[in-house]
Amino acid sequence: MTIERIVFAVAGAFIVISIGLAHFVSPYWLWFTAFVGANLFQSAFTGFCPLALILKKLGKEAGSAF
């Protein structure tokens, strides 16, 4: 699994989990959803993603995006 697929999977999981938490626990979890979305948006333009840097240091295979 490449870094891109891992980043997309983790971001998707975070979004789904935070929406569930916002529904059942507190609407303040939507701020976390917004943070994940903003991070995905900025990484599309800059190529900078903190999770991608961590995965590179762990030795994961890089694809074309990161």
Q: Count of domains in the chain?
A: 1
Give the dihedral of Cα atoms 9, 15, 19, 22; nearest 10 deg: 130
pLDDT for the residue 64: 77
Is residue 63 within 8 Å of residue 3, measured between CB atoms?
A: yes
pLDDT for the residue 16: 97
Residue 65 lies in a domain: no
Q: SS3 of 14, please?
A: helix
- Is 70 exceeded by the pLDDT of residue 66? no
- pLDDT digits 0-9 by tens, 19-54: 999 999 999 999 999 999 999 999 999 989 999 999
Residue 18 lies in a domain: yes
Residue 66 lies in a domain: no
Q: What angle do CA 1, 49, 21 make, to 5 degrees?
A: 85
Instruction: List the domain range (segments joined by +) for residue 22.
Output: 3-57
Residue 64 lies in a domain: no
Alpha-carbon Rg for the chain, nearest whole angstrom, is: 13
pLDDT for the residue 63: 80
11: tokens are 């971001």
pLDDT for the residue 36: 96
